[in-house]
Structure 1
Amino acid sequence: MTWNPEQYHRFRAARSAPAQDLQALVPVRDYHNIVDLGCGTGEQARQLAERFPAAQVLGLDSSAEMLAQAAGGPATPNLRFEQGDIAGLTGEYDLIYANASLQWLPNHPALLARLWARLRPGGVLAVQVPANHDHPSHRLLTETAQEFAAELGGFTRFGTAHGASPVLTPAAYAELLDALGAQDITALSKVYPVVLPGALGLVEWTRGTALVPYLSRLSQGDGERFLAAYRERLRATFPSERVYYAFTRVLFIGGKPEN
């Protein structure tokens, strides 16, 4: 997928609020190695490096475009960035931090088990994922993808080709963490309201995230037709010039016992 950092940051304030809440859940400890999974343009990794200056912080992301912007930030001695996939994470860490990244990976029970194995005793796993897959903006995106099945090779992010969203409920994540032996578990759902200028605002919002895997698979001409069809579906559902978008997130955190 090809990510556009500028498009993603058009709603920087709204997208950063859940991240700040996740940071607030992370306890102050003597961390030595921290990894930020799906670090994007590096803001969260940089904050972790500044907050825990004694730790070595790794920002990991699969997007060269995002990492190029991350590397352009101010020099931070205990922070480095690498290109790589979350599923292939190696090494051991005292804090595994994942802000708005794990929703792109399937089978969260298996995924959490793999991440837990990379966590040192006494370490912390802190995660935040969007939970808007049942919102009309996403359901209409799937409908549009089905209209463009030939051009997309049958791909739909949330549909029959790839199954439902991998994102679980807070209760399910808490149960998974408990089964892994976690302690001090917190799991919650929170709505971060965003007011958008009608259907066009919803298009611009989703262009930074949910639309990316679709437009990355389409030619410029097909992409323009796809956007037009998606926009018309949104206009029919949201005819007003003001849309209250209930931006829903799941946050959870758990600690690994010392022994």
Structure 2
Amino acid sequence: MNWNAGHYLRYGNERTRAAVDLAARIRLDLPEKVVDLGCGPGNSTQVLRQRWMNSEIIGIDNSPEMIAAARKAFPDENWQLADVACWTPASAFDLVYSNAMLQWMPDHANLIPVLFGMVAPGGALAFQIPSGTYAVVRTLIHEISHKPEWTDQLEAARTMLTMESPSFYYDVLAAEASEIDIWETEYCHVMDSPNAIVDWIASTGLSPFLAALASDDQRAEFVSELKRRVYGSYETRVDGKILFDFRRTFVIAYR
């Protein structure tokens, strides 16, 4: 999947908020080695740098566009182009951190133990992903994807994201972790219009659906239908703004 760093950062403050909340709750004073898995354009990595000024921090992403944007914005950091699915570190990390990336990887029952295996004694695995309790806009995307003319070609897009329950992640980590901190937060992002909600998700969760459609006309039809439904599903507040409710799942497991 191709990533557009500029589009992603159009809502950079909102996207970075969860990264800040996750980092703030990690109870590690001076982690020597830190890795940011799925670092994107570097916004989450900078959250880690601000928290731990003297740590060795590596940002890893499989998108050349995202790594290029990170290198341009933060040239002094260590950026690596790599696919987390097949990446093997040379040594363990005091903190393995991931902000809104693991949902793009399958089979969390096997993935999470592998990532926890990268954590050094006394360290932590910390990640956040969108909650499996879908935002309204994502439910609308799935509903539209079942239109008869394109339901078959969008089957893979419907199953691309993996978002398990908090209890699932607890059970996967309980046997190895010394302590587990799990919570969910629902953010109410203030958006200028219903169209802004569609624009937000166009660079992330909507992207696989649009990429799977056969033509620009189909993509335009999909987006037009989504905008129409979003207008009917979100209320306009007294000042003309829209509250975009978005729930996220946070997990911190200590070794």
TM-score over 0.5 for the alignment?
Answer: yes
Q: Deviations over 1:99-122 (max 9, x none)?
A: 111111122221111111222222
**Matched letter for residue 168 of structure 1:** E
Q: How does 1:210-221 map to 2 (within 5 A)?
A: 210-218=205-213, 219-221=215-217
Structure-2 separation of matches of 1:117 and 1:199:
42
Residue 151 of structure 1 contacts residue 222 of structure 1 at CA under 8 Å; is this kept in 2? no
| One-letter identity of the residue aligned with 1:125 | L
Deviation at 1:34, TM superposition (A): 1.5
**Aligned residue for 1:86?**
84
Q: Distance in 1 between matches of 2:95 and 2:30?
A: 10
User: In structure 2, what is the Cα distance between the partners aligned to 1:148 and 1:32?
Assistant: 54
For structure 2, the residue ranges without an aligned partner over 5 or more in a row are none
- Pick closer, same or farther for the CA change 1:223–1:152 going to 2, 3 Å: farther
- SS of the aligned residue for 1:203 comes to helix
Q: Alpha carbons of 1:69 and 1:135: their partners in 2 closer, same or farther (altered >3 Å)?
A: same
Aligned twin of 2:179: 184
Aligned to 1:208: 203
Q: Structure 1 58/140 Cα, relative in aligned 2: closer, same or farther at 3 Å?
A: same
How do 1:20-39 and structure 2 match up within 5 A? 20-39=20-39
CA deviation profile, 1:155-176 (whole Å, cap 9, x unmatched):
3533xxx28x532233332332
Residue 116 of structure 2 corresponds to which residue in structure 1?
Answer: 116
User: Which string of whole-angstrom CA distances, capped at 9 and with x for unpartnered residues, describes residues 150-207 of structure 1?
Assistant: 497233533xxx28x532233332332212x212321101111113344312211211
Aligned-partner Cα distance in 1 for 2:122–2:64 = 33
Name which of 198, 206, 222 aligns with 1:226.
222
Q: Per the alignment, do residues 115 and 96 of structure 1 end up closer, same or farther by CA in structure 2, a change over 3 Å counting? A: same
Tell me which moved more, 141-150 or 247-256. Answer: 141-150
How far the C-alpha of 1:60 sits from its partner, in A, is 0.9
The answer to whether residue 248 in structure 2 is matched with residue 249 in structure 1 is yes
Q: Map residues 132-211 of structure 1 onto 2, 5 A cutoff.
A: 133-147=133-147, 150=150, 153-158=153-158, 162=159, 166-179=162-175, 181-211=176-206
Contact 2:38 2:60 in 1 (8 A): yes
Q: Is the 8 A contact 1:198 1:239 kept in 2?
A: no
- 8 Å Cα contact 2:20-2:47 kept in structure 1: no
CA distance change for structure 1 residues 239 and 126 in 2, over 3 Å: closer, same or farther? closer
State the TM-score, normalizing by the size of structure 1: 0.85
Alpha-carbon spacing, 1:147–1:24, altered in 2? closer, same or farther (3 Å): same
Secondary structure, counterpart of 1:249 in structure 2: strand
Q: Is the 8 A contact 1:132 1:247 kept in 2?
A: no
When the two structures are superposed, what TM-score results if normalisation uses the length of structure 2?
A: 0.86
User: Matched residues in 1 for 2:254 and 2:111: separation?
Assistant: 16
Query: 1:63 corresponds to which residue?
Result: 63
8 Å contact kept, 1:126–1:254: yes
**Structure 1: gaps of 5 or more residues:** none
**Residue identity matched to 2:87:** L
Output the CA distance in 1 between the equivalents of 2:156 and 2:78: 34
Question: In 2, are the aligned partners of 1:129 and 1:249 still within 8 Å (CA)?
Answer: yes
Relative to 1, partners in 2 of residues 1:149 and 1:125: Cα closer, same or farther, differing over 3 Å? Answer: farther
| Equivalence for 2:127 | 127
Partners of 1:152 and 1:23 lie apart in 2 by: 40
Give SS of 1:157's match.
helix
1:141 aligned partner, one-letter code: I
* CA shift in 2, pair 1:226/1:148, >3 Å: farther
Q: CA deviation at 1:96?
A: 0.5
Please list the CA deviations of residues 191-233 of structure 1 after superposition, one character each: whole Å capped at 9, or x if unmatched: 1111334431221121121112222334433322221122222
Aligned-residue CA RMSD in angstroms? 2.4
**Count of residues paired in the alignment:** 249
1:154/1:17 CA distance change after superposition, 3 Å: closer
Q: Is the 8 A contact 2:182 2:250 kept in 1?
A: yes
Kindly tell me: are residues 177 and 15 of structure 1, through their superposed partners in 2, closer, same or farther at Cα, counting changes over 3 Å?
A: same
Q: 1:224 to 1:110 in 2, by over 3 A?
A: same
